[in-house]
Amino acid sequence: MKKHYFIKALIIFMILSPAISSSKENGYDSVLEFGDPKGERIIQFTGNGDLNIIGYNGEKVLIYSNENIFQDDYEDLEKAKGLKKIGGGGGFNIINNKQDNIIIISRPIDEDIDLDIKVPNNTFLKFGSDVNMDSWGNSKAMNQILSSIYNENEKAQDDFVADIIGKTLGGSFYGILDGDVSIKDFSGTIEVNTVDGDIRAENIEGEIIASTIDGDINVIFKKLHKGGALYFSAVDGDIDVSFPQDIQADIMAKTMDGDVYSGFDGEVTMGKEMENKITAGGNKHNFNNLFHSNYITTRINGGGHEVYLNTVDGNIYIRKGN
């Protein structure tokens, strides 16, 4: 199924993607436009190397690199005369899927490519994907669950499997990200998963979900959007998050080997506040309370946004911003 989906996706991309724009605009090496500037726009990054992202109020994605990745070396190729290069094998690729409104910036895994990129605000930035080799290991369990959901409806089930593999289980493009990610002055949604590198996000308005294995996470929020819970996770590194001072939040912090510091005068409890929950079903909520007592919980300005800060080996800093 994976292979099938991969090939299908590849064919679609090959048909849809126009060549990497070779035009130079204001010194940028590559300028990309979304298929639908007003729709939901996604920019996805994979591969290794540092990324410096700055948000701006334009509509184009502007990419700059010091390295020679945009050079049109293929023109020397006799066989490629008259053809346009639309992609490479295992190398640097930009895929602009205008139909799905996704721009994928895919870098090779055997070398580091550093990029400076300006991105439009109010987009969805997706960095790498988690490296979970088990993701594909449970296909049997997944099929069982899906057939129980769909009963005998095989056609719907097949469609759904393709969908779920594409979306929930990482999709056909999931790359290891080895390098630092830095995002500045951006509003929108950020989903970043790296393996080896720091994550820095500064002056951010919106939502962030971040994870790294070996590196620090540093986030300075300008404003949070009301949405689901936010999660920041590191295995070997500090988590340092600065919130607007008037934020209403419940911050749950957990570290195995480190300390938790806070600049807020929030009320600190071991365990999540449960008084707003339905109290029926006694045992159930006792379990939940006990489980949540593993978190050091700070309720700030009456509570609201749920924020989970998890690290195994590192300190957690909760800062009061402006």
Partner 1 sequence: MNCKDIKELIFEYLDGGLDSENIRRFDDHLSSCEECRVELAGVKSLWMKLDDIEMEQPSENLKKNFDNMVNAYTLGVSGTRTPWYEAFSNWLEAWWPKRSFTQFAATIAVLIIGIVTGLSINESAESKREIGQMQRDMDNLQQVVMTSLLNESSAVDRISGLTKTNQLENVDGQFYSTLLLLLNSDSNINVRLAAVNALANFADNGYVRHELVKSLDLQSSPLIQISLIDLLASIKEPDSSSTLVRLINDPGINEHVKTRAKTALKEFI
Positions that interact with partner 1 (CB under 8 A): 42, 124, 126, 129-130, 132-135, 137-138, 141-142, 145, 148-150, 153, 155-156, 159-160, 163-164, 166-171, 174, 189, 191, 193, 207, 209-211, 227-229, 231-233, 235, 254, 256-257, 277-278, 280-281, 283-284, 287-288, 290-294, 306, 308, 310-313
Nearer to partner 1, 20 or 307 (CB): 307
Task: Give me the least distance between CB of 128 and partner 1, in Å please.
Answer: 10
Residue 266 · residue 299 · CB < 8 Å: yes
Distance separating alpha carbons of residues 66 and 46, to the nearest angstrom: 18
Task: Give me the least distance between CB of 145 and partner 1, in Å please.
Answer: 4
Nearer to partner 1, 44 or 242 (CB): 44
Nearer to partner 1, 242 or 311 (CB): 311
Task: Give me the least distance between CB of 171 and partner 1, in Å please.
Answer: 8
Task: Give me the least distance between CB of 223 and partner 1, in Å please.
Answer: 16
Task: Give me the least distance between CB of 73 and partner 1, in Å please.
Answer: 34
Structure tokens given for 240:
């340092």
Structure tokens given for 315:
């300190």
Nearer to partner 1, 14 or 164 (CB): 164
Task: Give the residue among 119, 105, 234, 129 at the shortest CA–CA distance from 184.
Answer: 119
Structure tokens given for 18:
């126009």
In sequence order, the β-bridge partners of residue 52 are 116, 182
Distance separating alpha carbons of residues 85 and 77, to the nearest angstrom: 11
Nearer to partner 1, 54 or 312 (CB): 312
Q: Who contacts 25 (Cβ-Cβ below 8 Å, separation ≥6)? A: 31, 60, 62
Distance separating alpha carbons of residues 93 and 85, to the nearest angstrom: 10
